[in-house]
Structure 1
Amino acid sequence: MTNPTPENDGPAAVKQVNQRGAARLAAVQALYQMDIGGTGVLEIVAEYEIHRLGQDIDGDTYLKADTGWFRSIVSGVVRDQRTLDPMIKSALQDDWALSRLDSTVRAILRAGTFELVERRDVPVAVIITEYVEIARAFFEEDEPRLVNAVLDRIARQIRTDVRK
């Protein structure tokens, strides 16, 4: 996954951005797993922090991630889902039901919307770019465009730092 260039140059800034990107990807995977399997938030966070983040599993290496960022996204999405889902639904076109979306797309949109709402210290462009890149890791064409459009619509409604 390609991460955007941080505003302040230097190895610490790049490392932090890479770890945040890895945390976003892991959070989407964890949210997907919770959605599909009904796993609880405490159980899933513990599983990822102990057994996945920065570990080798069956020949796949999970990137080292900012565990605080990961935990914040997963627990925040679970805590605020009743607020986030209506925001996402209103940003979907043609009254498309959120339940009709692929579970991975739902997880991406929930995590991205959570960050747009809660992480005002992170520029909108960074959040949208990161989640579109995550969508590209899982899907070919339509889904990344959908993620971009929905997160952009939500950002324009709730953030003042978006060019209109």
Structure 2
Amino acid sequence: MSARTKARKRAIDLLYGADLRQRSIADALVEEQRRAADQPAREASWRYAREIVEGVDEHRESIDEAITAHALGWTLERMPVLDRAILRAGVWEILHNDEVPDAVAISEAVQLASELSTDDSGSFVNGVLSAIARDR
């Protein structure tokens, strides 16, 4: 597993945990920073995970608007918490990180959704992110 793939999973874990516990992203980042300091072997994945999470936090309103506009028939509140986290990270990569090709962001998000969430999550995430990438 590449460092970026590990970082994406770590970012999704942070976003998921903060959303589930209804705590701020800033608090989740402080806690994870402490953990990262104690585990130097995970430093490579921590830098990009932090970049994703901070980016999602900074652009949360526009990211959520893009998801809502492209998730036909679904509100953010109705989506599984894990799917929301995966979509937010994927949308940030598509809209705000020019270093990552859209196809890579979509593929990584679909893979994580397929592994970690419901049976239908992979295709749902693929549809939403593909539509956002197409329309940007």
Report the TM-score, using the length of structure 1 for normalisation: 0.74
Once the two structures are TM-superposed, the CA of residue 93 in structure 1 deviates from its matched residue by 1.8
Whole-angstrom distance in 2 between the partners of 1:29 and 1:63: 14
Once the two structures are TM-superposed, the CA of residue 141 in structure 1 deviates from its matched residue by 2.4
For residue 66 of structure 1, the aligned residue among 26, 41, 45 is: 45
- Structure 2 residue 35 is the aligned partner of structure 1 residue 46: no
Cα deviation, 1:75-123, whole Å, max 9, x if unaligned, reads: 11111111111100111123x2111000000010011001101111211
Whole-angstrom distance in 1 between the partners of 2:10 and 2:109: 12
Q: Tell me the residue number matched to 2:64.
A: 85
Q: Tell me which structure has the larger Cα radius of gyration.
A: 1
Q: Tell me the residue number matched to 2:119.
A: 141
Question: Using a 3 Å threshold, how does the CA distance of structure 1 residues 76 and 156 change in structure 2: closer, same or farther?
Answer: same
Contact map agreement 1:54 1:65 (CA 8 A) in 2? no
The code of the aligned residue for 1:98 comes to: L
Cα deviation, 1:6-26, whole Å, max 9, x if unaligned, reads: xxxxxxxxxxxx111111111
Cα deviation, 1:112-158, whole Å, max 9, x if unaligned, reads: 00110111121111111111111122135211100011000000011
Report the TM-score, using the length of structure 2 for normalisation: 0.88
For residue 32 of structure 1, the aligned residue among 4, 11, 16 is: 16
Cα deviation, 1:31-87, whole Å, max 9, x if unaligned, reads: 1111111222232123223326995xxxxxx96642221111111111111111110
The number of residues matched between the two structures is: 135
Q: Matched residues, percent identical?
A: 33
Three-state SS of the structure 1 residue aligned to 2:77 is helix
4+ residue runs of structure 1 moved beyond 3 angstroms? Answer: 52-55, 62-65
Contact map agreement 1:32 1:104 (CA 8 A) in 2? yes
Three-state SS of the structure 2 residue aligned to 1:66 is helix
| 1:85-164 → structure 2 map (5 Å cutoff) | 85-94=64-73, 96-158=74-136
Three-state SS of the structure 1 residue aligned to 2:62 is helix
Whole-angstrom distance in 1 between the partners of 2:110 and 2:64: 18
RMSD: 2.1
- Structure that is richer in helix per residue: 2
